[in-house]
Amino acid sequence: MQISKNKVVSLHYRLTEEGPEGQLIEETYTSDPLQFIYGIGMMIPSFEENLESLSGGDTFSFTLNPEDAYGAYEEEAVIEIPISSFEDENGQVDRDRLQVGSPLQMMDQQGRAYHGVVLEPKLESIVVDFNHPMAGRTLHFTGEIITVREATPSELDHGHVH
């Protein structure tokens, strides 16, 4: 069976930066395979495009430039936020959760959630990077399709593989 819309794809992959010999970012060969429903927006569109029409047992190797993956790194997404934004109801700031590399989730006035990472804690502010961790990176995928099958009605209703 070939990969197409509403098929459940199970695959192993190796993700490196720049090319096949680049720095390893992640891989699934030592864990469970990646499973997703093709064509419903679970994966990067260009990732799916490179897998279309492949079948179980097929291998793949392709590179995604930043604009085809998580976008360019945007300096404007690095924001200095006043320390007062992190005060609790008692006016206290938990600086332990504001260390370099700490993940943050913040909401804007419209209730939209934004995920960021602390770059620099300062006395009166915190510098946070709201870029996706893979923004600006060229990603190279190699791997193997394990199985392709029809998604069940329940999987399609819930939007994920059971």
CATH architecture of 7-70+135-158: Roll (3.10)
- Neighbouring CB atoms inside 10 A of 128's CB total 24
- What pTM value is reported for the model? 0.82
Q: Which CATH class is domain 75-129?
A: mainly beta
28-43 per-residue burial string, b: 16 or more CB within 10 A, e: under 16: beeeebbbbbbbeebb
The pLDDT tens digits along the chain (162 residues) read 999 999 999 999 999 999 889 999 999 999 999 999 999 999 999 999 999 999 999 999 999 999 999 999 999 999 999 999 999 999 999 999 999 999 999 988 899 999 999 999 999 999 999 999 999 999 999 999 999 999 999 999 999 999
Q: Are domains 7-70+135-158 and 75-129 of this chain identical in fold?
A: no
Q: What angle do CA 64, 18, 27 make, to 5 degrees?
A: 80
Q: Where are the domains of the chain?
A: 7-70+135-158, 75-129
